[in-house]
Amino acid sequence: MRKMYYNFELSKVKKFNKSILLTAFFAQIISLYFFTIIGRFDSSESDSILNNYSALSGLASTISMCILVIYGAVIINGLLVKNYTGEDKIRTYSYPNGRSQLFYDKVMAFSVVFNSFQFLGMAAANIVYLIIESLFPILDSHVLALSYLVHFFMINISTAILTVVLIIFAGLAGVHLNSTVATVVTGVVLIAVLGNIVAMAFAIHILVTLISVILIAFISVMLIKFTGLKIEQDEI
């Protein structure tokens, strides 16, 4: 029975597969070329951050993350948050699978699908960019772009995890505040506060950043568990 409910939630999220993939792809490829073109015509000193592929990857991934957090907040509003606000909450609480378990299934289904297709979209954009930039370089660099493939891959993983975590934080805020508007507002606030920090973190040490992102993900798991327990004990 539990697997049936999870598969049902999964099928609802999978309707957004293509849009998540395309949003991630175009956000990343456009951001990469935007910063590459700026870097190509940057007249500042030769060690400028915009003349470095690893730095460009961090900046572009940060922009993509911001776009995807807002888009993800809209999606999670429709798939999760609205089910725990107003009259929809009463219907959701009447499901026989258990309140908290249904909530966990919804969060897990969203996280798996969004994370997977965001990662694929950004990875495809990165590979296309690195191949084209290696063959027909725009950036005035003496290093082959494809040599940064592993670095791009590490940033891709970090961005995908962090994006979903921020969306989940926004969704949990919406559930606790009983408001779908709060979800989007929280998403905007998070990217406004963390945007520059994330960009700098990607530029400094990607392995440390990845470990930090994983730790933040564990915190989100604890918050999800706490919210599930709150829903289980909620009175209507």
Structure tokens at 207: 């392995």
- Mean pLDDT, contiguous 10-residue spans, the chain (236 residues): 78 94 98 91 63 88 96 95 83 75 92 97 98 90 87 94 97 93 95 87 83 93 94 77
Dihedral of CA 33/37/39/40: which sign?
Answer: positive
Distance, CA of 126 to CA of 199 (rounded, Å): 17
Distance, CA of 234 to CA of 121 (rounded, Å): 38
Tally of CB atoms within 10 A around 92 = 19
pLDDT at 205: 80
Identify whether the C-beta of residue 71 lies closer than 8 Å to the C-beta of residue 188: no
Distance, CA of 4 to CA of 2 (rounded, Å): 5
Identify whether the C-beta of residue 88 lies closer than 8 Å to the C-beta of residue 174: no
pTM of the model: 0.93
Identify whether the C-beta of residue 182 lies closer than 8 Å to the C-beta of residue 167: no
Letter for the amino acid at 220?
A: S
Q: What is the pLDDT of residues 45-103, one digit of tens each?
A: 545 677 788 889 999 999 999 999 999 999 999 999 998 887 777 777 777 767 888 89
Q: For the chain, which residues make up each domain, given as ranges?
A: 2-233
Identify whether the C-beta of residue 142 lies closer than 8 Å to the C-beta of residue 172: no
pLDDT at 1: 61
Tally of CB atoms within 10 A around 47 = 7
- Which position has the token pair 């378990």? 101
Tally of CB atoms within 10 A around 148 = 21
**Cα-trace Rg, the chain:** 20
Tally of CB atoms within 10 A around 146 = 14
- Which position has the token pair 């470095």? 52
With DSSP H G I counted as helix, E B as strand and the rest as coil, what are the percentages for the chain, rounded to 5? 85, 0, 15
Distance, CA of 223 to CA of 112 (rounded, Å): 17
